[in-house]
Chain A
């Protein structure tokens, strides 16, 4: 299993290079102007002679047309001057399209942190980009089983985050500027989570979950899914400890798991496993709407839209109804009672022998009926 490290600012880059040896298989540099939260200047990158062989530059902002034209210029300048050999880590489909049409071709890594949750999407992109695609960064929302399924058809190496903040939100609007600050911690009475990290920078406003993702204690299962790379978005001191755990794991030392658990305990922030072990994202959907009635395999004849208890029901017809019909009334709670159309009247109170779709009609009341019940013929 290979490791990658995200570096966001010049200070952190210098600290990393000061280690003297490369503890990670790849470093990911979040550059100023092109990445969401990075501040490393392209000049700084260019001036570093001892960058690891595998270095990737991040261009992950989303760009409406006019910004895109500006950023293209920034990228072109960087590429022609010094950065043509490095990989670019990108999100915007426009960036991908632009990079693969560059000459010479630019190697890229596609970051799908919040989307591309199925293998058809990933393999389609893989096919489209072709050989310049060097890596795919998979979504934080993919559970173990789906990760395994996805890898069955994927040729491109993949990476997931194993330690670091979970991004929740990205807007180009500046939401903290009014408060003369660029960072804040947020909480709301409407959610039990406390301490959302919020940052407002030149690219817009970003928010992260108060708890960070920690999956180092699942390295065996991650490796088993087919994921080849694990990434650290946390500060260097923690990432170094994490990389040590990965090394132990790669060497087959049983202690890796204990060390991972210890690291989790002493980590600077509370952590969660995210979706790796559970797919909770659609658990609530069935509760959002009572669909009992509408989905029944029944030929619906009319809606009950008003009633006078023990006297009559007002119905609006979806299908023809005849005097003497026998129908079944389904209440929204699922109770079913027979309905005999013993009388059928129009809104003038006149007796009629049949009524048609769209008509409003008056029929006998049935005990237990309520507005919203449906009258149908079983099929």
Chain B
């Protein structure tokens, strides 16, 4: 393995304290998270103040950075609670604040926490970068329309750190420039209320004599920049961000593990790349594209189809406890029966595949089928430790 000294930081989403632990254990260099106000993911769990404190402390114990999102577009009243929140973040050692609004930036600047400019500010060019530098920004999370090469140029010309999205679902609009939800469902997409109107199926009247078509014309394919990591290394991109604070622990674990391995390896032989790609395929996603990382996203980036609910590799749960030579305790999140196959995602190295012969309840009764959200015992297996994430492998007959 070839460890690159100047490799980009791997930045993972932490939509909850549980997912923060997952991200850290599966190899993230940094996580981004939100308190219960001010962030852009109002429908994710987010962190209570106590959880925030615990999360920051866990990150720092593990030498992982924690960035706090304050990237909603603030209205006047939103500033009221900000001072006390910032004082707490200073005390608990937040490593950076992710900000998009100039007013928020001005407000938070005196607290001395480094400021990362959110992608919501749609910083796309070197002149804009210069503006934000003068405003005190340390890092630019570039707009998703910026190519890797442009990010490199901006970094070189302006002397700020640059961060790019490398994987996840994509906003179709220029970030911060979509207010569909605001006017159609009273939910401010720039304050965390996006109703994902771009994912709807629309019926288009094409205005040339009644031609009408049904289409998901505004839906974007998901971003997958795995194959571009060598270029990210070469261009010295400072941070690569995985989207998905609303996604579950399995997604976080899979992304962090694969990207960690790929970043640490550097340019890899095709066999290894295939292996990483195959593992990324095990999370549910829309069709993948490379967004604008290489060249500006075009028509090929439109995901014109209904999203599938089917996932052949559902989240099966989290290992709660391992008692050597006795049992593994699994917090099952899906129904499991003897005969099912599960894969335990180890923190490093090969995953462990197990076909279940027997399942037991916590009080040692054999069970034929566990219900989701129950605690069950599996036979002991070496190499498994607490907090590992487990996926179920659906038999081919149950796959779509």
Residues of A within 8 A of B (CB): 62-68, 92-98, 114-122, 124-125, 128, 140-142, 146, 149-150, 166-179, 181, 183-191, 193, 196, 198, 207, 209, 274, 279-285, 288-289, 291, 294-295, 300, 305-306, 308, 311-312, 314, 316, 347-349, 358-360, 362, 371
- Please, which residues of chain A bring their CB within 8 A of the CB of B93? none
Q: 25 A-B residue contacts at CB 8 Å?
A: A65-B153, A67-B125, A68-B127, A93-B128, A93-B131, A94-B125, A94-B128, A94-B131, A118-B103, A120-B103, A124-B102, A171-B218, A173-B298, A175-B172, A176-B204, A184-B206, A187-B203, A209-B183, A281-B191, A282-B193, A285-B192, A291-B36, A306-B331, A306-B374, A349-B364
- Please, which residues of chain B bring their CB within 8 A of the CB of A117? 73-76, 101
- The answer to whether residues A295 and B75 also contact, given A94-B127, A171-B174 and a CB cut-off of 8 A, is no
- Please, which residues of chain B bring their CB within 8 A of the CB of A120? 79, 102-104, 106-107
Partner of B201, one of A92, A95, A174, A189: A189
Residue in chain B with minimal CB distance to A316: B320
B98 within 8 A of A: no
Residue in chain A with minimal CB distance to B183: A209
- Please, which residues of chain B bring their CB within 8 A of the CB of A140? 179
- The answer to whether residues A306 and B193 also contact, given A115-B176, A177-B299 and a CB cut-off of 8 A, is no
* B 125-146 to A, binary, CB cutoff 8 A, 1 in contact else 0: 1111111101100000001011
- Please, which residues of chain A bring their CB within 8 A of the CB of B107? 120
Pairs of residues from A and B, 3 with the lowest C-beta to C-beta distance, nearest first: A121-B103, A120-B103, A94-B128
Roughly how many angstroms separate A307 CA and B139 CA in the complex, as a whole number? 47
- Please, which residues of chain A bring their CB within 8 A of the CB of B298? 173-174
- The answer to whether residues A64 and B176 also contact, given A188-B203, A305-B331 and a CB cut-off of 8 A, is no
| B218 lies within 8 A of A175 (CB) | yes
Roughly how many angstroms separate A292 CA and B172 CA in the complex, as a whole number? 34
| A347 lies within 8 A of B377 (CB) | yes
- The answer to whether residues A124 and B191 also contact, given A63-B124, A64-B124, A97-B127 and a CB cut-off of 8 A, is no
Partner of B130, one of A97, A283, A288, A295: A97
Partner of B127, one of A98, A185, A358, A360: A98
- Please, which residues of chain A bring their CB within 8 A of the CB of B43? 288-289
Roughly how many angstroms separate A170 CA and B202 CA in the complex, as a whole number? 17
- Please, which residues of chain A bring their CB within 8 A of the CB of B90? none
| B202 lies within 8 A of A187 (CB) | yes
B81 within 8 A of A: no
- Please, which residues of chain B bring their CB within 8 A of the CB of A179? 204, 206, 211, 213, 215, 217
B68 within 8 A of A: no
Roughly how many angstroms separate A142 CA and B132 CA in the complex, as a whole number? 24
Roughly how many angstroms separate A330 CA and B124 CA in the complex, as a whole number? 48
Roughly how many angstroms separate A371 CA and B361 CA in the complex, as a whole number? 16
| A115 lies within 8 A of B73 (CB) | yes
B384 within 8 A of A: no
Partner of B186, one of A171, A189, A281: A281
- The answer to whether residues A169 and B178 also contact, given A64-B146, A179-B206, A349-B364 and a CB cut-off of 8 A, is yes
B223 to chain A minimum Cβ distance, whole angstroms, is 13
- Please, which residues of chain A bring their CB within 8 A of the CB of B122? 62, 92
| B188 lies within 8 A of A141 (CB) | yes
Partner of A124, one of B103, B176, B302: B103
B177 within 8 A of A: yes
| B201 lies within 8 A of A348 (CB) | no
Partner of A279, one of B75, B153, B375: B75
Roughly how many angstroms separate A280 CA and B193 CA in the complex, as a whole number? 11
* B 141-174 to A, binary, CB cutoff 8 A, 1 in contact else 0: 0010111001001100000000000000000111
